């Protein structure tokens, strides 16, 4: 039961950090890219949000897999 609570706690912590990164991205990075790439117009925000979501998902799954992987493979 203790290991299950640890896993839920780690997932909650990773989700919290992902939310902070997403907020920072929405506040600072997306407006900067809209200024830098004005030719794409409103599509820029969708492209950047999708790219940030993909990176966050890969990072979270990688950390989760690393933490829950077998310690001794042999």
Q: Per-residue pLDDT tens for 41-74? A: 667 667 777 777 788 788 878 887 887 776 665 5
Say if 35 falls within a structural domain.
yes
Q: What is the mean pLDDT of the chain?
A: 76
Instruction: Give me the number of domains the chain comprises.
Output: 1
Say if 73 falls within a structural domain.
no
**Given pLDDT bands bounded at 50, 70 and 90, which one contains residue 29?**
confident
The H or E element containing residue 56 is helix 43-68
Domain that holds residue 44: 2-68
Say if 74 falls within a structural domain.
no
Specify the DSSP class assigned to residue 66.
H
Rounded average pLDDT over 6-35: 79
pTM of the model: 0.50
Say if 34 falls within a structural domain.
yes
By C-alpha distance, which of 33, 58, 55, 56 is closest to 44?
Answer: 33
- Residue 67 CA to residue 31 CA, distance in Å, equals 34
């Amino acid at each position: 039961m203790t290991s299950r609570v640890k896993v839920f706690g780690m997932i909650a912590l990773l989700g919290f950090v992902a939310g902070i990164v997403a907020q920072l991205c929405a506040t600072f990075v997306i407006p900067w890219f809209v200024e830098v790439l004005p030719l794409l117009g409103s599509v820029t925000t969708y492209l950047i949000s999708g790219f940030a979501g993909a990176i966050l998902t890969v990072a979270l799954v990688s950390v989760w897999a690393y933490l829950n992987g077998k310690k001794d493979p042999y």
